[in-house]
Every structure is written in structure tokens, then in C-alpha cells.
Amino acid sequence: MRQILDTLLREQGAESSTTDDLDAALGQLRETPPFDLLAVDCMGPDRGGVAWLMAVREAAPQTRILVVSGETRKERIAAALDAGADEYLMKPFPREALREKLLILGLVK
Amino acid sequence: MPWDTVSGLTEADFEGIRTLVRERAAISLELDRMPLVEARLVGLARREGLPSAKALIELLDAEQSAGPVARRVVEALTTHETAFFRDFHPFEALRTVVIPDLLERIGDTRPLRIWCGAASTGQEPHSMAMLLHTHFPEVEARIVATDVSRAVLARCEVGRYSSLEVNRGLPAKLLVRYFDEAGLEWQLDSDLRACITLEPLNLAGDWPDWPPFDLVLMRHVLIYFDADTRQRVLRRVHGQMTPGGCLLLGSTEQPVGLDDCFAEERLGQTGWYRAIPAEGTP
């Protein structure tokens, strides 16, 4: 999924970096100039979930957060949004759906 | 183009289908649409429990006059891609400029009247209902949603969508606010669905006796008509609008040859067409 997202985001003209380590991602968000977008799957079992999203929101208030996840329960989507996610994309999705989320986030025209 | 179908459909079959769709829905299917037509007919045959698209054509040919098979074939070929808040920027223009302007014009004398002229499975009228409820909660509005296909209107009425469909263009905050889980699907709030009136309508056929609309969305549907039909439909749309009402078309569509009916206005990427009052109208 990381590789697919990377490819799709580059297709939209983005420069992107990837990691499978959520702690490393949080560290990078704290230390580097702001990213426009963080696309992350953090809602699955044993992932960072709500607490991790709240930490990201605090560490990188300017970064738009798009959660991409196979978790499709309404209460979990609502929890992600409450914790600071700006958008949520359920897996699986067609490539147009990612572009539409970027439109909603004001990151493409 | 070479005639080579995997379904066994012949050029004569395709010509018959073209004639049917032209006569029933005034839609011109060009030859380069053949692969799409074939795919839709194969899908319809499967849903009807028929062994092949060829069997569907045989059933169609056996109908004495245009009956239920012909209707379902036309519906299968005139259902188009849709998404919530399609293209996004037109809905921003509606929210920030068009709807506030229309509300100022009508004051609080009556409800805002909106027509979605190619409702498909409902994403557009449902997007409009959510937009109004979120940003104009005090406004009373009536939305009429029409489509040539009864099958898609039935889906629109129920307002149930798959995860794949609610993934398309719908902001997650609106999903959480206005939809409930319904098994593996998501269903739109019944109050929002209740403000939408659904009617099957062939744009090239007879229209009911409606009151005029303040806002008409006729997006991504006229491209399937030939130029004469397009102009005729748009002239009728103009006659169905309040003076100063607004028409939104698809981003590549324009009311060509109708300078006496519409004046273009723009906000960023979005253009819309203001209905010019007919002569003698106050």
C-alpha cells in the first residue's frame, strides 16, 4: 500500500517520502520543514490509532492528515477525525478516489 | 474500425441498439463507444440471468414494441459515472456565490427550487442536500432529481452506497455526519432524502408541469446528445427557470447558440449560466 500511495501521489505531482515506522514518521514530522500531506494507515490493529494521530496533530499542525485504512467502521472513522485527521479513505479505492480526497484537502486543482 | 467482439454481437446488433437509444433517449452512440456498449450489455445480460449479450439482443428483437427489455437496455446504456461533489469546485462556487445570490433574489418568499437533471444513483442531489443542510440550515429547499433510468432512481431513493461509492468525493466528515452503516453499505439520513423528489424523465421527451427552478444542474449529460437535441433541451431548460436563475453544466459543456437565453458567469474554475429573462418578462 505504501508503494501504491507513493506512486499515486507522485502521479499527482507530489514529492514524497515513505516509511513503515510510525515512530520514525512522527520524529520526521517534528524535525523537518512541514509536509503538506501525511497519508497514513494508522487505524488497523497494533497501529498507532487515535493516540498517534493526536501526537501528529500536535507535532505538525500545518500538515494535512489523510488516513488510508481498511478500517471501515463509522465509530473508528469518527474517532480518527476527532483525533485530528482531515480526511479518511477506505481501502480498497480507485485512483480517482485519492485524487478526489486531495481536491477536498485543497492540495490539487 | 475492425468489428471484433468477444460477446458475439454483430455490427447489425450494434446498429439496432444505436437506433433504439437514439429514438428512446435522443442519445447518439458513436461507433467508438462500441466496447462500452458491449460491456454494459454483457453486464445487463448477466444481471437478467441470460447466458450472453446475444441472448439479450434476441429477447429485445422478440419484443413487439418497445417493452421492458428495451427500457432496461436503454437504462443500462445511459447510466454514467458519478461521484459525490463531482469535480468539487462547482460545489464551492455554489456554496460561496451562487446559492447566496439566489437566496437574496428570492428572499424568504418561497423555498429555493433546484433541479438535478441527471441524478443517476443520487450522488449529485444528495451532495446538494448535504451542502444545503450544512451551510444553509435555515433555508427551505426543494430538490427535484430526474433521470431517464428508473433503476438508478430507485437506488437514489434508498440512498444506500457501497464503501467504494462513499469513497468517491464525499468528505469523511459528511460521511460520519449524514450516513449510517447499513450492513456493508452506508445509507444517507432519511430527513435529507425526504427533501428530494424523484421523477423518471427523458430530457428529450415530455416534461411534467413543474414550477420554475432557481438552480438547474445538468452536468455531464448533454454531451451524449447530438448538437440539435442539446440546443433544444437547453432552450426548454431556460423556459423552466426563474429569470436570473442559474444553470450548471459539466466542465466541458456550454450552451452553444443560446446567447439569447444564458449569460456566463465565473468563479475560478467554475462557470455557470444565468438565465436571461425572456422578452416581456418583468
For helices B99-106 and B123-135, the axis angle rounded to 10 degrees is: 70
The β-bridge partners of A69 are A90
Q: Give percent of chain B with pLDDT exceeding 90.
A: 58
How many H-runs (helices) and E-runs (strands) does chain A carry? 5, 3
pLDDT tens column, B148-169: 888 889 999 999 999 999 999 9
The β-bridge partners of B182 are B185
The values of phi and psi at residue B5, to 5°, are -110, 145
Interface predicted TM-score (ipTM): 0.93
Position A44 confidence tier, pLDDT thresholds 50, 70, 90: confident
What does the alpha-carbon distance between residue B144 and residue B210 come to, in Å, rounded to a whole number? 10
Mean of pLDDT values over B34-52: 85
The values of phi and psi at residue B26, to 5°, are 60, 30
Mean of pLDDT values over B48-68: 84
Ramachandran region of residue A90, left (φ > 0), alpha (ψ -120 to 50) or beta? beta
Residue of chain A minimizing CA distance to B164: A93
pLDDT tens column, B214-228: 999 999 888 778 888
- Lowest mean per-residue pLDDT among B9-13, B112-116, B199-203: B9-13
Between B104 and B38, the higher pLDDT residue: B104
Between A59 and B21, the higher pLDDT residue: A59
Where are the domains positioned within chain A? 2-104
What does the alpha-carbon distance between residue A100 and residue A66 come to, in Å, rounded to a whole number? 12
Cis peptide before A92 (omega within 30 of 0): yes
A81 contacts on B by Cβ (under 8 Å)? 172-173, 176
Residues B251, B222: contact at Cβ < 8 Å?
no
CA distance A90 to chain B (A): 7
- In a mutational test of the A interface, the residue from B89, B162, B167, B175 whose CB has the highest number of chain A CBs within 10 Å is B167
Is a pLDDT exceeding 80 seen at residue B36? no
pLDDT tens column, A68-102: 999 999 999 999 999 999 999 999 988 889 999 99
pLDDT tens column, B245-269: 999 999 888 999 999 999 999 999 9
Q: Look over chain B and give the mean of its residue pLDDT values, rounded to a whole number.
A: 90
A75 contacts on B by Cβ (under 8 Å)? none
CA nearest neighbour of B178 among B199, B200, B198, B159: B159
Instruction: For strands B112-116 and B213-218, give the pairing.
Output: parallel
What does the alpha-carbon distance between residue B71 and residue B81 come to, in Å, rounded to a whole number? 19
Beta-strand runs (E) in B195-250: 196-200, 213-218, 241-249
For chain A, list residues whose CB is within 8 angstroms of any CB belonging to chain B.
72-74, 77-78, 81, 85, 87-90, 92-94, 96-97, 100, 103-104, 109
CA nearest neighbour of B119 among B110, B111, B129, B109: B129
Contacts of B246 (CB under 8 A, 6+ apart): B98, B101, B102, B214, B215, B216, B265, B272, B273, B274, B275
Taking the model in full, what pTM does it have?
A: 0.83
Angle A84-B86-B258 from CA coordinates, rounded to 5°:
145
Taking the Cβ of residue B162 and every Cβ of chain A, the question of whether any pair is shorter than 8 Å is answered with: no
Position B1 confidence tier, pLDDT thresholds 50, 70, 90: very low
What is the per-residue pLDDT for A14? 84
Pick among 3.30.1370.10, 3.40.50.720, 3.40.50.2300, 3.30.1360.70: CATH of A2-104: 3.40.50.2300
Is a pLDDT exceeding 70 seen at residue B4? no
